[in-house]
DNA sequence: GGGATCGGACAATCAAACTC
DNA sequence: AGTTTGATTGTCCGATCCCG
């Protein structure tokens, strides 16, 4: 929060409708636990994205805008030639998906196709999620592309189970949502981990 | 204090699966 | 053919690190 000109609508890259302080966005360590069906109270406005960030913003993982040069490149005095759209790679085709789970009107699961617990060779192990930014990301993306291209990639419905099969990460008993709430909204219907009042 | 870095949440896209 | 669903890919928030 120190870099004020990087944040907030009044002079930085931030989107105007973002909450100034989101207790749940702050890394993976704090997550609120809600009952499985989120109510309308838990909905917040969507974060808008540009269709194609420029290479500079992409590399910095910062907000871009459709104009070229974008505001951030102008701010950091990149030349217009340096503010160019990043290249999107083509989505891979032919991935098998397996049968669908059925949902009710509110989006909750009403059927889970029996006990589908897939274990597929080549699935990235828990804890090996891709580094999304910077050179490490490019290296990871390259290696993953090779894995998928060779047909050893993940085509199952669910991620691998932990080795001891003690947890099924995609079978939620609770709805975990990074939703900021005003004090007045926290009165009922929500649970916080460890008795936290947040 | 301000910029850089980076983990991970969030959003958009689109093809496979499904329904009629 | 049209709709639904989930995998994939991309954006960027926000915490932390680093440097002057």
CA of A193, C1' of B3: distance in angstroms: 35
pLDDT at A134: 45
Chain centre to alpha carbon of residue A61: 13
Distance of alpha carbon A75 from alpha carbon A71, whole angstroms: 6
* Nucleotide with C1' nearest the A91 CA: C8
Write down which residues 150-169 in A have CB closer than 7 A to strand C: 153-158
pLDDT at A61: 87
Q: A133 pLDDT band (50/70/90 cuts)?
A: low
Mean pLDDT of all residues in A135-155:
37
Contact between residue A98 and residue A118 where contact means Cβ atoms under 8 Å apart: yes
- For A87-112, what is each residue's pLDDT tens digit? 888 887 877 777 777 655 554 544 43
CA of A113, C1' of C4: distance in angstroms: 16
**Full DSSP string of A163-177:** TT----TTS-SSEE-
CA of A155, C1' of B18: distance in angstroms: 18
Mean pLDDT of all residues in A115-139:
39
CA of A197, C1' of B12: distance in angstroms: 34
Q: A79 pLDDT band (50/70/90 cuts)?
A: confident
pLDDT at A104: 55
Q: Reduce the DSSP state of residue A114 to 3 states and report it.
A: coil
Of A130, A16, A20, nearest in space to A63 by CA: A16
Model confidence at A18: pLDDT above 80: no
CA of A31, C1' of C17: distance in angstroms: 24
pLDDT at A119: 37
Q: Which residue is nearest to nucleotide C11 (CA to C1')?
A: A49
Contact between residue A153 and residue A122 where contact means Cβ atoms under 8 Å apart: yes
Contact between residue A8 and residue A14 where contact means Cβ atoms under 8 Å apart: yes
Tell me the domains of chain A and their CATH numbers: 50-90 (4.10.240)
A179 Cβ within 7 A of any nucleic strand C atom: no
- For A29-60, what is each residue's pLDDT tens digit? 333 333 333 344 444 567 888 988 988 898 88
pLDDT at A121: 36
A21 Cβ within 7 A of any nucleic strand C atom: yes
Mean pLDDT of all residues in A10-38:
34
**Mean pLDDT over each residue of chain A, to the nearest integer:** 50
User: To the nearest whole percent, how much of chain A has pLDDT over 70?
Assistant: 28
* Nucleotide with C1' nearest the A26 CA: C14
């Amino acid at each position: 929060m120190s870099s004020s000109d990087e944040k907030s609508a009044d002079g930085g890259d931030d989107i105007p409708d973002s909450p100034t302080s989101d207790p749940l966005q702050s890394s993976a360590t704090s997550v609120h636990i809600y009952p499985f069906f989120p109510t309308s109270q838990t909905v917040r406005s969507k974060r808008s994205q540009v269709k194609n960030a420029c290479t500079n913003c992409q590399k910095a993982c910062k907000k871009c805008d459709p104009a070229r040069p974008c505001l951030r490149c102008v701010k950091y005095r990149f030349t217009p030639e340096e503010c160019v759209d990043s290249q999107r790679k083509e989505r891979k085709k032919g991935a098998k998906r397996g049968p669908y789970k059925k949902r009710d009107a509110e989006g909750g699961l009403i059927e889970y196709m029996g006990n589908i617990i897939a274990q597929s060779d080549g699935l990235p192990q828990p804890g090996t999620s891709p580094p999304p930014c910077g050179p490490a990301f490019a290296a990871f993306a390259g290696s993953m592309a090779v894995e998928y291209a060779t047909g050893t990639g993940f085509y199952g419905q669910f991620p691998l189970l932990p080795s001891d099969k003690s947890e099924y990460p995609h079978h939620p008993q609770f709805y975990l949502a990074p939703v900021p709430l005003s004090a007045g909204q926290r009165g009922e219907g929500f649970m916080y981990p460890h008795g936290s009042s947040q």
